Amino acid sequence: MARSTRSNDWGFPRWRAYGSERGTTQVRMCDRHGCDRPGNCPAPKSPNSPDRWYFCEEHAAEYNRGWNYFEGLSAEEAAAREAGERRDASGYAEASHYGWGGAGDGTRSRDEMRALEVLELESDASFDDIKAAWRRLAKVNHPDVRPGDAVAADRFRAVQTAWEVLRAAEERRAA
């Protein structure tokens, strides 16, 4: 008599609960020699190759530290690949206008609002106002102007960090 390949899981309703298969679960081990942890992080074996290594998280981090995605490509080929991947990910860029849904006043994020507070500005300040306030506060609190003053040094660091946050936000908006 022929052996049946049909399971009891076909049709509706299912005769068993989901996940109650009888077979064992396959656990892939890390491909790093001597490692006995599960390898659940795939990594390419070589550029432009579908073959993958499977590492544990620690060895995947070690492998990725030395990985150059554009290795072996000319500058034109690397630019073409980057443009293609940006085109494929354009759906995420189109949804970036939902970013206002987080904390902030609708035009700026929470971090930008905090940076504006550090620079003693209102939330509707223009980038030119931000730049002027940053220069003014940096000159007043600079460690070369006030040597040995720990409070001024901390204030200078806060002003610099606020400037970096607001400058990066302005560059994102311009792009």
Sign of CA pseudo-dihedral 94, 95, 101, 104: negative
pTM: 0.43
pLDDT of 157: 93
pLDDT of 16: 62
Domain segments of the chain as ranges: 27-86, 107-174
pLDDT of 76: 92
The domain made up of 107-174 has a fold known as Helix Hairpins (1.10.287)
What averages of pLDDT result for each successive group of 10 residues across the chain (175 residues)?
60 61 76 90 79 89 79 87 78 61 67 91 90 94 91 93 93 85
Cβ atoms 152, 143 nearer than 8 A: yes
End-to-end CA distance of the chain: 69
